[in-house]
Amino acid sequence: MISQRRGFLGAMAATMGSALLGGPLSTAPAMAVTPVREPELSPFARPALPALVQRAVAALDAHGAHIRHRDLVGLVDFSRASRETRFHLIDIEGGKVLSSHLVSHGSGSDPANSGWVQRFSNRVGSNASSPGAFLTGVTYVGKHGRSRRLIGLEDANSAALERGIVIHAASYVSDAMARTQGRIGRSQGCFAFSDSDIGNVLERLGEGRLLYAVK
């Protein structure tokens, strides 16, 4: 895992370094040089965010006995507003963000419906989001269609199975709602995605992987 961490952070550093330098040096004559297009930075190429990725990688180490597949993790940044794409699928081995998506938080975490997480809870009936490391479980078809169960691996989310905290789709999560209302809807503590995104999330974040939620 140490080598994976170094590889991941190294890839991030290389990406940021390339952006600052404007690409590799060329030995061709000045008039023959083609302008180098600035590479697009990932959502994590900002000062505050790489630490979150490091925490997710540390969670892989801490819970390695439970997590069979360590190539990809789902990272939820609950410090961001719900109108932002704050759920990221991260390729740990390749050191890159594969995709980013809107994701809900629980109504108990945001009683005023402000679009921001105010607090967490692990209590049954709280309708709040829980932080920490989750193990992705099996898929099933429920009232929200195809969904994926989650097993909490920490004291802060140990009641996830009992509470029915899962990954599912919801009509209250959409780009249009985020634009027009400045926020998306709230769940009862589940990680709810748009109908257009749920298939990709369920497919890539398969059984036996890490979902890590943090603020």
- Give CA–CA dist 138/149, Å, rounded: 6
Taking residues 91-115, what's their average pLDDT? 94
- Give CA–CA dist 36/22, Å, rounded: 6
CATH of span 42-214: 2.40.440.10
What number of other Cβ atoms are within 10 A of residue 8's Cβ? 22
What pLDDT sits at residue 39? 45
What radius of gyration, in Å, describes the C-alpha atoms of the chain?
Answer: 19
Residue type (1 letter), 148: R
196-209 pLDDT per residue, tens: 999 999 999 999 99
Judged on CB neighbours under 10 Å (0-12, 13-18, 19+), 133 is buried
86-96 pLDDT per residue, tens: 999 999 888 88
- DSSP secondary-structure letter at 54? H
Taking residues 103-119, what's their average pLDDT? 98
Token pair belonging to 132: 């920490």
171-184 pLDDT per residue, tens: 999 999 999 999 99
What pLDDT sits at residue 93? 81
Predicted confidence band of residue 50 (pLDDT cuts 50, 70, 90): low
- Can you tell me which residue has the tokens 């890159």? 96
Domain parsing of the chain, residue ranges: 42-214
Predicted confidence band of residue 67 (pLDDT cuts 50, 70, 90): very high
Res 188 pLDDT > 50: yes
Judged by DSSP in three states, 100 sits in: strand
Token pair belonging to 214: 């943090």
- Give CA–CA dist 93/105, Å, rounded: 28
Taking residues 17-31, what's their average pLDDT? 36
CB 193 within 8 A of CB 187: no
What pLDDT sits at residue 95? 80
What pLDDT sits at residue 96? 87
Name the nearest CA neighbour of 91 among 56, 59, 133, 67: 56
